[in-house]
Amino acid sequence: MDERDDSVWQTWREEANKFDYFVCGVSGAIFTYVIKDYSPKRLGFNSSLFETVALIFLAASFYFGIKRIERNLTCLSTNHQKLFHDSDVRRMLLSLSQNQEHYQTSTGIVNRSELQQRIAISVEKIKAAEIAGEKARGQALRFYNHRNTCLILGFLTIFLAKVLLPYETTTPQPHAVVLQTTNKTTLPIQPAPRQTNTPSKK
């Protein structure tokens, strides 16, 4: 890979990482926005059902986005290990071709048999890094597809929830009956005067 190819690959890698972070942030932001006004209700074929499903899809999209970022970091780590051990093997093979009794390495002076053992160990590490890298790349691709699928489904279910909301039939609330009592002032009843029978004078 020449300098131009390496520059193009580096630019693509940076933009892909930005896109992954952006999509993961969008999933988390929409989840936060929806759950802010979410109140659990009895599930049926209504807007509450689609809001609940949308929250599940958005949470899954955020989770898969985080896992994809983790797998991308694993790919970078395994690629670095592979390049490091590959460069180390090249140096040791170059030293081994000089047909000397002792060889200078980064960790000290070793003989020919020890150098051959180190070469074999480094080759095994290269193979292990390649296997781990292939596995991480496959998982990153699956997480990429799962993340985008869940995000699209989350958008669709939110849209359906908003569409169904005006068509829901709500049970009318009974009107409260306010009883007003009037304060009546009662006047005391005065007793009637007693009539006395006086004898008439004749």
pLDDT(106) > 50 = yes
Contacts of 19 (CB under 8 A, 6+ apart): none
154 versus 175: the higher-pLDDT residue is 154
Q: What is the predicted pLDDT for the residue at 104?
A: 64
Can you give the pTM of this predicted structure?
Answer: 0.70
Distance CA 119, CA 95 (A): 11
Q: What does the mean pLDDT of the chain come to? A: 80
Distance CA 18, CA 12 (A): 10
Structure tokens at 47: 């807007």
145 versus 189: the higher-pLDDT residue is 145
| Helix (H/G/I), strand (E/B), else coil: 88 | helix
Contacts of 156 (CB under 8 A, 6+ apart): none
Average pLDDT (24-52) is 84
Query: How does pLDDT run across 54-94, given as a tens digit for each residue?
Result: 999 999 999 999 999 999 999 999 988 898 888 888 888 88
Query: How does pLDDT run across 12-35, given as a tens digit for each residue?
Result: 888 888 999 999 999 999 999 888
Q: What is the predicted pLDDT for the residue at 140?
A: 93
DSSP for 3-57 reads HHHHHHHHHHHHHHHHHHHHHHHHHHHHHHHHHHT------SSSHHHHHHHHHHH
Distance CA 51, CA 39 (A): 10
Q: Is 64 within 8 Å of 149 (Cβ atoms)?
A: no
